Amino acid sequence: MRGITLSKRSGAGLLAVAAAVLSMVVVPQAPMALADAAGGGGDYVQLGNDAEVLDTRDGTGGATGQRGEASTTTFPVLGVGGVPTTGVGTVMVRVAALAATEATFLELWPDGTPRPTNLTALSVKAGEDLSTFTAVKVGSNGKIAVYNAAGKAHVVVEVHGYFKSAQGTNGGGFVPVAHTRTIDTRNGLGVTTGMIPAGASRTVTLTGGLIPAGASAAYVNLAVPGAAEKGWFSYTPPGGSVRPVMNYVPGTTQQAAVVQLPADGKVTFTNNGGAAAHFMLNVEGYFTNSATTGSGFRSAYGRLINTRSVGAGLPMAANSVIDVQVGGTYGLPTRGIAGALLTVIATSEASGYLKAWPAGEAEPSLTMMDHGTGWRANSIVLKPGTDGKIRIRNGSADTIHLLVDIQGWFAEPLPTVPVVQNSRTTVFQAAPVAGARAGTLDYAYNDNAGRVVFGHQPFVDNFNSTEWTVISGNEAFSGQPTIAQLSDGRIQVTAQHRSGDVWSITQTAAGAVTWNAWVNLGGSMAAAPTAAKLADGTLAQFAVDVDGKLWVYQQKGSVPFWRNLGDQNLVGGLTVVTVRDGLRVFGLDGAGAVKSVLFYNDGSLSPWTDLGGAGSSGAPAVVVRPGYQLQVFVRGAAGTIVTKLQDAGGTWPGDWTEVGTATVAAAGSPIAVLDPGVGRVAVAYRGTDNEIYRVWETATASNTWGQWGWFIDGFSDPSATDPSMLAYYNGTSDTWLLTFRSPNGTPRWVDRQV
């Protein structure tokens, strides 16, 4: 070991022990309880009467006259027509565009927030009267806003129910069903055969089959096929008031709706058109009458796909299918979605239809929208299938452009992730600011209470200058966080929330001591993520789910989302290293074998490599030697540290070899670094006696090893965590450090003196 010096570091002297000043850590209040799917918020409350909150024909809502081109109209919702003044998160509204002078579309969003330019609620052609149901989050001022894109049109908005913003005893959760047609006047399904004359009604029973008795409301898709004239349907539950439910135009019209259900399930539909019309109803789900059953609503706005966008590819070919990622987008999990509330829009030069169903399931016979030429939209609630995707078929004889927007989703209960005790600390060196010789050091760890603690070391040669802050507020997290630096210089910390989703938090500005709010990236992963940068600076987050699938979240493009990279039965944490062509990912499978895959800079994937072995839990340690020659270290089943080293051609040997001779078995997974001072690899682990042990190669690039020993010879310093290592530049020379936390949670450092 001649020429190698290891020292405990602090500002007082090289041999002093560096300890964190715990008084600098802000202690938060107890973690806030998060809403769950069965009564923790998002339950649906059906109003006894629809509350008309905007009607530009008579000035309801404070606006009179047709809305002009590119106009925004705001109007109050809370406290109007039976809508409560508090406790309302999102309202379920019927929105109608009437007497449109040009083809146009409407957008609705919470007043007081920027208009979402990628969220369409309804589209109409000139002269059409059409409506749809959509979910709109209410602004903090109790209002929502509506935007009319082109021409002039009257706008009507009615609230039929609302989703609660907090837990309570009233309301009910959503239960999805397989999309099923239950009413069709053309063949007498569930109703008397034959058209419903103008001004006439039909009474149908919606409960007793897919919808159980006692349900409060049904989420349905209504259709008027082959209408001769335009008109509108209303519905009346026994003892209730008449409520508009859909407008229709000549030809076929399909539209989503929420229908209130009485105790006997009987609902009367009335044709208010100028001619007889057929009527169909497809059931997509229902709302229970109990706040402890079903799934709660979560608001989420955004566009999932737009084939008209630059770089989105070609339009959908005739009779083709396309998979649309729903789970893992806009903060959604990749599992546990009872249904996603979607608006699907088609624009075509030929008449046709669209089908939509969960990816991986059989294609249904039902269509979700029959359309003519031009633009047409409809909303559905659909449970995503394999990997959180839905599949859509273009049933047109011509190409179409497809747009899919998400309005929100219904959350199923998922198990809470336990706080991993004594997880590793992450250490990172930021890029130096202008005029500085070296970048600052940053640390992040999750303590045993679930708090994310961030450490900033402004003086790279003084470990006692580290400033510690709890950045998790009242939220709770688990596992080892990641640290990355964005292209604008801001630091971003990513951690696994106890809900299972991956959350990130970013500095308000480069070098700032303040942070933006946490952002939910979704995901529902089984372990904490690992982050690394691609060649273009794009940050990629990798994580494993409970099925052993590897997922990646790339923060680029208009819709960042989690993407499945393959099922290798992976467990535990991951290690990601930068190589010539991208990022090489390593993990252990359920049998202890090391699996690896190359995530190329363009987002493509290499074949998986199975390195074999019988490693125990924990992430592998990986060193990138010169020439991008990789070496992997894992803890073997007997507590030994074993390794594999690629040859110059990149081929892995068949056998694992033991690293050094240890007298104390490893309790945790190893860590390794290429010592910049001597060019030899150093390896460390936490022993079963909780001491940190280390070993070096006996000579540069030899892959032979000396004797394991305490990190500082003759100096006992027990650790509660596995150690972390970082090669860094201290302003004078390249060196490296090791950090861990003591049994009382105090951060400790050892640095390599050159």
pLDDT in tens, 614-664: 777 789 999 999 999 999 999 988 899 999 999 999 999 999 999 998 889
Neighbouring residues of 435: CB distance < 8 A, sequence distance ≥ 6: none
Task: Confirm if 618 and 573 have CB atoms less than 8 A apart.
Answer: yes
Q: Cα separation of 720 and 725, whole Å?
A: 16
Q: Is 410 left (phi over 0), alpha (psi -120 to 50) or beta?
A: beta
Query: Can you give the pLDDT at residue 7?
Result: 58
Q: 248 near 230, Cβ under 8 Å?
A: yes
**Cα–Cα distance for residue pair 637/661, rounded to 1 Å:** 15
Q: Is the pLDDT of residue 221 over 80?
A: yes
Closest CA to 609 of 622, 617, 12, 601: 622
Burial class (CB in 10 A: 0-12, 13-18, 19+), 446: buried
Which tokens sit at 29? 């209040």
486: CB partners within 8 A, 6+ apart: 492, 506, 539
For the four alpha carbons of 39, 41, 43 and 47, in that order, the dihedral sign comes to positive
* pLDDT above 70 (res 23): no
Could you give the CA distance from residue 44 to residue 294 in angstroms, rounded to a whole number?
10
Chain segment 349-393, per-residue pLDDT in tens = 888 999 999 999 999 999 999 888 878 899 999 999 999 999 999
Q: Residue 570: in which H helix or E strand, if any? A: strand 570-579
| Strand 154-164 to 747-753 pairing | unpaired
Q: Residue 313 region, left (φ>0) first, then alpha (ψ -120 to 50), else beta?
A: left
Amino acid 30: pLDDT: 26
Q: Residue 262 and residue 203: Cα distance in Å, rounded?
A: 13
Confidence category of residue 5, pLDDT binned at 50, 70, 90: low
Provide the strand spans (E) within 412-529: 426-429, 441-446, 452-457, 467-470, 477-485, 491-497, 502-506, 519-520
Nearest to 458 by CA among 446, 447, 471, 469: 469
Spatial CA neighbour of 754 closest among 696, 676, 697, 677: 677
CB 343 within 8 Å of CB 407: yes
Distance CA 264, CA 259 (A): 14
Backbone region of residue 690 per phi and psi (left: phi > 0; alpha: psi in -120 to 50; beta: other values) = left
CA distance 278 to 338: 31
Question: What pLDDT is recorded for position 579?
Answer: 96
pLDDT tens digits, one per residue of 55-87: 999 999 999 999 999 999 999 999 999 999 999
Burial of 12 per CB tally in 10 Å (0-12, 13-18, 19+): exposed
pLDDT confidence bin for 465, thresholds 50/70/90: very high
pLDDT tens per residue, range 584-602: 999 999 999 999 999 999 9
Tens of pLDDT, residue by residue over 712-749, are: 888 899 999 999 999 999 999 999 999 999 999 999 99
Residue 435 has what pLDDT?
87
Q: Can you read off the two tokens belonging to residue 231?
A: 């008109």
754 — pLDDT class (breaks 50, 70, 90): low
The owner of tokens 């400790």 is 748
* Residues 500-547 pLDDT 10s: 999 999 999 999 999 999 999 999 999 999 999 999 999 999 999 999
| Residue with token string 């939910």 | 520
- Asked whether the beta carbons of 405 and 342 are under 8 A apart, the reply is yes
Sorting pLDDT into bands at 50, 70 and 90, what band is 300? very high
Identify the three-state secondary structure at position 41.
coil
Measure the CA–CA gap between 5 and 222, rounded to whole angstroms.
Answer: 77
pLDDT at 40: 52
Answer whether 419's CB lies under 8 Å from 440's CB.
no
* Residue whose tokens read 């990816």: 359
How many CB atoms lie under 10 A from the CB of residue 192?
Answer: 10
Give me the torsion for CA of 718, 720, 725, 730, rounded to 10°. Answer: -70
Name the token pair of 101: 């002078």
Share above pLDDT 70 across residues of the chain, in percent, rounded to a whole number: 94
3-state helix, strand, coil split of the chain in percent (to 5) is: 0, 50, 50
Pairing mode of beta strands 467-470, 452-457: antiparallel
Task: Name the 3-class secondary structure at 571.
Answer: strand
Q: How far is CA 163 from the centre of its chain?
A: 21
613: confidence class by pLDDT, cuts 50, 70, 90: confident
Domains of the chain: 1-21+618-754 (no CATH), 37-166 (2.60.120), 180-287 (2.60.120.260), 295-412 (2.60.120)
Which runs of E-coded beta strand occur in 272-399? 280-287, 296-306, 321-325, 337-348, 352-358, 369-371, 374-382, 389-394
Does residue 311 register a pLDDT over 80? Answer: no
Specify the pLDDT at position 710: 92
Nearest to 178 by CA among 286, 268, 95: 286
* Average confidence score pLDDT of the chain: 90
Q: 519, 513 in Cβ contact below 8 A?
A: no
pLDDT for position 275: 97
Helix (H) or strand (E) holding 177: strand 174-184
Confidence tier at 450 by pLDDT (50, 70, 90): very high
With a cut of 70, say whether residue 17 has pLDDT above it: no
- The tens digit of pLDDT for each residue in 412-424 reads 888 889 999 999 9
Q: In what order do the strands lie in the sheet with 337-348?
A: 296-306, 400-411, 337-348, 374-382
For the record, the structure tokens of 529 come out as 């993520």
